[in-house]
Structure 1
Amino acid sequence: MFTTRPTLQGTFGMVSSTHWLASQSAMAVLEDGGNAFDAAVAAGFVLHVVEPHLNGPAGEVPIILAPKDGEVEVVCGQGPAPAGATAAHYRSLGLGLVPGTGPLAAAVPGAFDAWMLLLRDHGTKSVEQVLRYAIGYAEDGHAPVERVGRTVETVRELFETQWPSSAEVYLPGGAAPQPGELFRNPALAATWRRLIAEARETGGDDRVAQIDAARSVWREGFIAEALVRQAAVPTTDTSGERHTGTLTAADLAGWSASYEAPVTYDWNGWTLAKAGGWSQGPAFLQQLALLPAELPAYGSADYVHLLIEGCKLAMADREAWYGDAADVPLDALLSEPYNTARRALVTATASYELRPGSPGGRVPVLSGHARAVASGEAGSDALGVPAAGAGEPTFARDGAGEPAVRADGATRGDTCHLDVVDRWGNMVSATPSGGWLQSNPVVPELGFPLGTRLQMAWLDEGLPNTLTPGRRPRTTLTPSLALRDGVPVMAFGTPGGDQQDQWQVHFFLAVALRAEVRGGLDLQGAVDAPNWHNDSFPGSFFPRGMRPGSVTVEEGMDPAVIAELRRRGHDVTIGEPWSEGRLCAVARGPRTGVLSAAANPRGMQGYAVGR
């Protein structure tokens, strides 16, 4: 079939990410003798510089890795709620939802420590060797993609009137970053140079000691001190009020990234590995578990309808059962009896209900807000978020998995992604996000802001995703790894908030159900295939609305399929061409050792490289 680009093939190394500079930086590390984990860390820090509207050092990152001849593991780079971040405290401030911006929404930052943990335990390079690419682009400048400037323009008034430290970085001389002109962040470069110097002073010439010293600088040194100072500054957020945050020095010092086993599901000879129920990753697995033994023809109206309806059921379960404040009944949710019963709920017509199940006989409980938007008591606009009231700014949609941003910084659908496989067979998939430029004011001494991941937790008591000190807010971030006969063969993922595990299921099935090319997986054909998503469940981002029955398809889907979906009752919106997803993927043939990679043309910035 025709594709926008070839599926790359080689034997030395392959990288795919959402920005070409990150991909090429990772490849440079491989060329310098580094492994896939070194390369991923370098690319992750470059993404902080070149996609600052999508991620930052004080954000978060789940990482799924498959070391050569080792066990698949998940690195949890999602920090928890601070000790003072109780639901009662937020309700005492008159809030019904955690704000979408500002220090009240800041969890303990997780991304930096997760990258350092991966580098220490699985990499071969030093802190300085992996940070030099990000330092170079921050110090010497890079030509920003269009959406960086568009995002800054959207929040210009906020920056100029309320967040002056952000204006200093992103509106130098009053001008937003422009394509074709060099944009610099010297404060960020200086932060990394100072961290490297202090790590070298403490750790000497020992690579591991240096990395541990860098982690200490982040958690207890000058970086921690600056983050805590910033969290205490009264800041205007999406509530319209000025609030201080809850992050303290003890919160930063008391948390570090950690390893855990992935959640897995076997489907038609494949094993899919995801992060646990603190992420939305198991929703991918639930969608596979809901599929019947015999699937309709790929791409047909029957096929698309089946996937839409199965996704609604999985995401309803995500709303009722996923989180870190209670046990997630994953064994029951993925069991055959449960999914046989759930499968029977899929009929020939579109469902407009939010229908969580009862795994193991448990009774689902939803937040008051989720019940309200599901019943229509709260309005929703075309983005699946509550409609703006008088004088309230609406979202500006950027498409292709980029964030939709309001003038007050509220964001829907955001992140980056990267995948790497090296010549030894090491494989890694990571979805860095949060701490983006519109989340919080830039910390003046550091050049980057705090994150806002707490906005994904509820303020109702007794839910799996209730805002709870020491517990992780449920995240949308969800990298993927696929195995065949126990051997890792493919790493993949996408930006896109709640859409991530919709687009990834569609991509995976396109790979699994269609013919190979050049003797390998047709990664690029699966990336380029027409995609879609639905918003028939409460969104994860403030202000957390939904559009029952909605389906958004990109222009390019078969008109006959669209007509049949509408006949079945789906509320279909036809989006722009190439507007659904920003998938990345790498693979390794278990028999041949041939490496391959593909990246999404959507967004005009993702690239795969390799040889």
Structure 2
Amino acid sequence: MSFTTRPTLRGTFGMVSSTHWLASQSAMGVLERGGNAFDAAVAAGFVLHVVEPHLNGPGGEVPAIIATNYDTTPRVLCGQGPAPQGATIAHYRDLGLDLVPGAGPLAATVPGAVDAWLLLLRDHGSWRLRDVLEPAIGYAVAGHPIVPRITDTVASVEALFTEHWPTSAALWLKDGKPPQPNSVFANPTYATTLQRLVTEAESGGGDREAEIERARRTWRAGFVAEAIDKFSRKPHQDSSGSEHAGLITGHDLATWSASWESPLTLDWNGYTIAKTRPWGQGPVLLQSLAILAALGAPEALDISSERGIHFVTEVLKLAMADREAWYGDSEPTPIDTMLSHAYARQRSALVGALAAGDLRPGAPDGRNPRLTQAYASRLHTAWEFAGTTGEPTVSSSGVTRGDTCHVDIVDRWGNMISATPSGGWLQSSPTIPELGFPLGSRAQMFWLDEGLPSSLAPRRRPRTTLSPTLVMQGDNAVLACGTPGGDQQDQWQLLFLLRYLTGDHSLQEAIDAPAFHTNSFPSSFWPRQMEPRSLVVEDRLGDEVISRLERRGHLVRRSGPWSLGRLCAVARDPETGILSAGANPRGMQGYAAGR
């Protein structure tokens, strides 16, 4: 048996795993009071806005994948807002920019998280809006003990807030100082926003669905949209070093809504893995599994060995290269071909004995791949995310800046959800003073080259890194998992699935096992750099394994023993009905709850 930091939780009533214990326990409280997994997920999502504001917020986004006990087909909830109508490549180029800034109003897409959570509640929940928002409103009004990482994040942007973003300084700097770790922090302005949303939702009477629809209209076309429209037009300094106004208007909010769509799936090892479509990076996980299967090398699945780590790393590079050339929210992507056995065999033939350093996208259906013209300038032998720009994700050294949230839930009826909320970080854009939260910065994932699948265009979704996972076995949902981590999300999930779905590890063992990832592709976050042949590892892989990887040409960077990944997972055994959950100890915030 492998080492674990804590037991895998097991029970039959309900299980929750999230990146913050307050969200996990809030969701568990909903299950205890008769709510289903989707009621609990919405409650947890709004609590995460309050207790992890450096990792997500109401101005951000959330994709999710669900399976219900009355429908055997998984569904994707798309809460990723698009670029504003005024967001054209010409506009950014006219400002002298060759990349979308990583922070500031100009980097914002239409906020998608709140409308998506409300759509989930309307269509699959059972509770009224007031009930599911009660925990978040309570923490926003009375406060919550602020985790040290929030303090560290605020301290890192203190000068920016003081000199350029006064509305953020007013919220986060008390007497000119960041809040003390573990001190009680409240956000009464955001509490008022949520309370007003409830009041307006209930003003017209009717059933719960009618209330939720009024709340959605209020958010997209009422006082929230009006405040966003007004504030977005004010110039603020962004990561380009200049002041620019944002582009989001009330019309942008009013004319977009969250939606449901079918997932992409891959049959692997007796399971069906469900992911988002190529407007997100989720198919990277599916492609990686398909290429590993095509290798026909059982040792490739042993990721405790130098040979297995090398195989998996090289496969991930190939999948990420395809992401760069083919994924996006534009013309149809040849994704069916890219998930085919024939294509996987072609790609597997490129896996050699030594570490590859260049991007090698494939040519599905004979189509020639095209990469951004900025590709050459993205090459660096070593790099770090600097300052406050971009998603505060994991740097190439493995240092965690924070990044995203995740929540997985399964209830006693077999309903299951995997959701990855992100964006709208406290450091992504100035706080909107009337609302108590900032906009997001997901537009930085667009390229300013014409004609790419991920080129910027009005009303187009950015190719997000957010990547929840749901696993089916026949007609049964058996696993929901995910992790924060930007470009590393599907890399760390691949390791988890290889360990768990082969039957060698329990949930907690698979989460705790040593992790690694590569940065040998352009980052999705400003300034969009890459590190060829990089391999970031936890030291627990061992000196001998690490030395052998270096002899294969990998540029290995040790990141410490417990530094990579923040995985969450819940599972259900369809034969016994036993539910289980595990949560990541790294970061000291993730916890599972259940019985």
* Residue number in structure 2 paired with 1:354: 359
* Residue number in structure 2 paired with 1:113: 115
SS in 1 for 2:541: coil
Once the two structures are TM-superposed, the CA of residue 327 in structure 1 deviates from its matched residue by 1.5
SS in 1 for 2:540: coil
Once the two structures are TM-superposed, the CA of residue 485 in structure 1 deviates from its matched residue by 2.2
Q: Describe how 1:453-532 pairs up with structure 2 within 5 A.
A: 453-515=442-504, 522-532=506-516
* Residue number in structure 2 paired with 1:558: 542
SS in 2 for 1:64: strand
- What CA distance in whole angstroms lies between the structure 1 residues aligned with 2:374 and 2:586? 33
* Residue number in structure 2 paired with 1:244: 245
* Residue number in structure 2 paired with 1:10: 11
- What CA distance in whole angstroms lies between the structure 1 residues aligned with 2:455 and 2:492? 27
* Residue number in structure 2 paired with 1:370: 375
Q: Is the 8 A contact 2:103 2:390 kept in 1?
A: no
Whether 2:435 is the aligned partner of 1:446: answer: yes
Question: Gapped runs of 5+ residues in structure 2?
Answer: none
RMSD of equivalent CA atoms: 1.8
Q: Is the 8 A contact 1:401 1:582 kept in 2?
A: no
Alpha-carbon distance change, 493 to 400 in structure 1, aligned in 2, over 3 angstroms:
farther
Equivalent position amino acid for 1:551 in 2: L
* Residue number in structure 2 paired with 1:580: 564
Q: Is the 8 A contact 2:156 2:388 kept in 1?
A: no
Q: Describe how 1:281-296 pairs up with structure 2 within 5 A.
A: 281-291=282-292, 292-296=295-299
Once the two structures are TM-superposed, the CA of residue 486 in structure 1 deviates from its matched residue by 3.3
- What CA distance in whole angstroms lies between the structure 2 residues aligned with 1:115 and 1:320? 31
* Residue number in structure 2 paired with 1:218: 219
Once the two structures are TM-superposed, the CA of residue 402 in structure 1 deviates from its matched residue by 13
- What CA distance in whole angstroms lies between the structure 1 residues aligned with 2:40 and 2:12? 16
Of 106-115 and 172-181, more deviation after overlay is shown by: 172-181
Once the two structures are TM-superposed, the CA of residue 336 in structure 1 deviates from its matched residue by 1.1
Whether 2:592 is the aligned partner of 1:589: answer: no
Once the two structures are TM-superposed, the CA of residue 270 in structure 1 deviates from its matched residue by 1.1
Once the two structures are TM-superposed, the CA of residue 483 in structure 1 deviates from its matched residue by 1.1
Q: Is the 8 A contact 2:167 2:431 kept in 1?
A: yes
SS in 2 for 1:368: coil
* Residue number in structure 1 paired with 2:97: 95
Once the two structures are TM-superposed, the CA of residue 558 in structure 1 deviates from its matched residue by 2.1
When normalised by structure 1's length, the TM-score is 0.94
- What CA distance in whole angstroms lies between the structure 2 residues aligned with 1:293 and 1:424? 38
Q: Is the 8 A contact 1:59 1:110 kept in 2?
A: yes
Equivalent position amino acid for 1:455 in 2: Q
* Residue number in structure 2 paired with 1:125: 127
- What CA distance in whole angstroms lies between the structure 1 residues aligned with 2:182 and 2:342? 57
Whether 2:189 is the aligned partner of 1:187: answer: yes
* Residue number in structure 2 paired with 1:279: 280
* Residues 466-501 of structure 1: CA deviation (Å, up to 9, x unaligned): 001111010000000011123210000000000000
Identity over the aligned pairs, expressed in percent? 59
Equivalent position amino acid for 2:411 in 1: D
- What CA distance in whole angstroms lies between the structure 1 residues aligned with 2:408 and 2:396? 17
- What CA distance in whole angstroms lies between the structure 2 residues aligned with 1:397 and 1:540? 12
- What CA distance in whole angstroms lies between the structure 1 residues aligned with 2:388 and 2:140? 32
* Residues 439-484 of structure 1: CA deviation (Å, up to 9, x unaligned): 1100000000011110000010000000011110100000000111
Q: Describe how 1:195-344 pairs up with structure 2 within 5 A.
A: 195-202=197-204, 204-291=205-292, 292-296=295-299, 297-344=302-349
- What CA distance in whole angstroms lies between the structure 2 residues aligned with 1:606 and 1:400? 20
Equivalent position amino acid for 1:486 in 2: D
Once the two structures are TM-superposed, the CA of residue 370 in structure 1 deviates from its matched residue by 2.2
* Residues 356-380 of structure 1: CA deviation (Å, up to 9, x unaligned): 110110000011112432xx4xx46
Once the two structures are TM-superposed, the CA of residue 393 in structure 1 deviates from its matched residue by 8.2
Q: Is the 8 A contact 1:403 1:414 kept in 2?
A: no
Aligned length: 589
- What CA distance in whole angstroms lies between the structure 2 residues aligned with 1:438 and 1:403? 20
Q: Is the 8 A contact 1:98 1:459 kept in 2?
A: yes
- What CA distance in whole angstroms lies between the structure 2 residues aligned with 1:321 and 1:138? 42
* Residues 22-56 of structure 1: CA deviation (Å, up to 9, x unaligned): 00000000011100000000000000111100000
Once the two structures are TM-superposed, the CA of residue 556 in structure 1 deviates from its matched residue by 1.0
* Residue number in structure 2 paired with 1:607: 591
Equivalent position amino acid for 2:123 in 1: D
Alpha-carbon distance change, 395 to 289 in structure 1, aligned in 2, over 3 angstroms:
closer
Equivalent position amino acid for 1:228 in 2: D
- What CA distance in whole angstroms lies between the structure 1 residues aligned with 2:564 and 2:451? 35
Equivalent position amino acid for 1:607 in 2: Y
Alpha-carbon distance change, 539 to 441 in structure 1, aligned in 2, over 3 angstroms:
same
Question: Gapped runs of 5+ residues in structure 1?
Answer: 406-411, 517-521
Q: Is the 8 A contact 2:564 2:586 kept in 1?
A: yes
